[in-house]
Structure 1
Amino acid sequence: MKVGIRLNKEDKSLRQQRTISKAIAYAGIGLHSGKAVEIRLLPAAIDYGIKFLRTDIAQAQPISAKVTNVTDTLRATTIANAVGTHVFTVEHLLAALAMLNIDNCLVEISSPEPPVADGSAKVFLDLLEQAGIEEQVASVQEFCLPEVVAVYDADKYICALPYDGFRISFTSINNHPLLGTQHYDLVVSEAACKTEIAPARTIGFMHEVEMLKKMGLGLGGSLENVVVYDEKSVLTPLRFEDELVRHKILDVIGDLSLVGKIKAHIIAVKSSHALNIQLAKKINELKNLEGK
């Protein structure tokens, strides 16, 4: 018996799958690579899912945005296909797609990393709305979490509880004098995400800059696309007083979209891409068990 996956096509409460109405493009630079990149977002058929296609590689195969394809979570989320072709820092674009409930889309990308844009998901969300959203004649398969799932790492954790909807409660704790403890509770909806979460940008710290550069990361970061803090102050005008925790929720939305549509209450304290993906993998294992 399939307990977790709702497959009844006649159930009027089920949402229809969505794609975009027309192709649309955007160019910029990657946050970590610093490389120039252009993406094209294209409509896709029912059950296609979200896939990335590297146009800078001859005869490249698409990379499905699935948690089973995650290969790295250092400072960002990386996905790759069976032959090792990869894209990284996919979480902001994935979050925008998830916020608008877009299930099927092909992302053509001319470099290994999408544009950082302004460091948030808002540019991508606006781009998708410009392209238009089209409902498709098939229902979404939504996984209703049957039990509690959790991941712990010392004082950091993220867990998912059964819940009739999708909700995220995140607590961020940072010793910077302007940050401290921030908490945000979001019942995820398209309207709430557009105004409260999508505009929240990536946070960075001046003391990390040299270390990141030595690691080959943050090469495209600037005050234009990262909210930067020095030891005592913030160098970038904030969009929200609690922009850090809102962006953490944005990352959770993007990372957990890799497991598909779920019904759950996510509760996190100091979570990271690594913990988000570990949770997504545990949910995926449950999903596979329930689907048998």
Structure 2
Amino acid sequence: MQQTTVAKTVTYTGIGLHSGKSVTITLHPAPINSGIIFARTDLPGIPQVAAVAGNVTNAMRATTLESGVAKVFTVEHLLAAFYAMGIDNCLIEINSVEPPVADGSSLPFVRLLEEAGSVEQEALRNIIDVKEAQTIRVNDSFITIVPYDGFRITFTSINPHPMLGVQFGDYEINTETFVKEIASARTIGFMHEVKLLQDQGLALGGSLENVVVYDDETVLTPLRFSDELVRHKILDVVGDLALVGRIKGHVIAVKSSHAINTALAKKIIESCSK
């Protein structure tokens, strides 16, 4: 299978979920073997950071990439779209610290990549074929990947909220399934967390337009799926494991988070380098 890049330059403008700042991203074609690169056009020298597991420096509430002065966070929804749409190489110019939240899902980025189109390049894809199980466990949460001929994610979400409870999702991750079943699932949030998050400088751009919001008993945002939470959790796994590159393996997760997902990404890279 050949590597791919976007066929033409496209642009999207919105606000960051956590930063609340206006931001524009511009996707450009990129050479073979370059991967997905973020270039901070708002900083002197336009420093770059690659979307690879080794550049993850924080995973609280969102995945942060950092290299020198180049830093971007909440990249997982955008990276999930790149993975699902089969784009291997792209230069993303970004004029703030965080990509647009859009509607809280990956679907706007899927549509952006559909607009951009794709072209094959004169180099083969490198596919990470998992040969033995790799597991990360933290308290009652875990994620593991086992050998599998394809890319599959099985996720169990457990949440004490009366409208959430236990949700289970099991999907073969390919372009068609991702676009139809996963891409439009949005980030969720809880009213009781809003002040705490904003005191930490987070969720400053969050609203009912880009987050599925729950109060103590009900949901304040019309749902797209009855199990939207677990579908979004699967979306996050796709985005976080995109930091490895193309993967063949079956991911099984219970209550997994960005921290555990990205720890698994790093472990997969370590196991393949031995």
TM-score by length of 1: 0.93
- Equivalent position of 1:189 in the other structure: 174
- Equivalent position of 1:249 in the other structure: 234
Distance in 1, Cα, partners of 2:190 & 2:123: 45
Distance in 1, Cα, partners of 2:273 & 2:26: 32
Distance in 2, Cα, partners of 1:235 & 1:17: 42
Q: Does 1:268 align with 2:249?
A: no
Deviation (angstroms), 1:61: 2.2
Distance in 1, Cα, partners of 2:267 & 2:177: 27
Deviation (angstroms), 1:275: 0.2
Distance in 2, Cα, partners of 1:109 & 1:99: 21
Question: Aligned partner of 1:103: which letter?
Answer: D
8 Å Cα contact 2:14/2:23 also seen in 1 = yes
Partner SS for 2:263: helix
Distance in 2, Cα, partners of 1:241 & 1:53: 37
Partner SS for 1:74: coil
* Structure 2 counterparts to residues 153-192 of structure 1, below 5 A: 153-192=138-177
**Selected match of 1:62 from 32, 48, 51:** 48
Question: Taking every aligned residue pair, what percent have the same amino acid on both sides?
Answer: 58
Distance in 1, Cα, partners of 2:159 & 2:128: 33
Distance in 1, Cα, partners of 2:57 & 2:69: 9
TM-score by length of 2: 0.99
Distance in 2, Cα, partners of 1:141 & 1:181: 36
Deviation track 1:9-37 (CA, whole Å, cap 9, x = no partner) reads xxxxxx21111110000101000000010
- Equivalent position of 1:201 in the other structure: 186
- Equivalent position of 2:200 in the other structure: 215
- Structure 2 residue ranges without an equivalent (≥5): none
Partner SS for 2:229: helix
Partner SS for 1:183: strand
Partner SS for 1:258: coil
Distance in 2, Cα, partners of 1:67 & 1:74: 15
* Structure 2 counterparts to residues 133-152 of structure 1, below 5 A: 133-152=118-137
Q: Does 1:75 align with 2:75?
A: no
**Selected match of 1:49 from 5, 30, 35:** 35
4+ residue runs over 2 A deviation: none
Distance in 2, Cα, partners of 1:244 & 1:45: 36
Calculate the aligned-residue CA RMSD, in Å: 0.6
Partner SS for 1:259: coil
Deviation (angstroms), 1:58: 1.4
The number of residue pairs the alignment matches comes to 274
8 Å Cα contact 2:39/2:70 also seen in 1 = no
Q: Does 1:21 align with 2:7?
A: yes
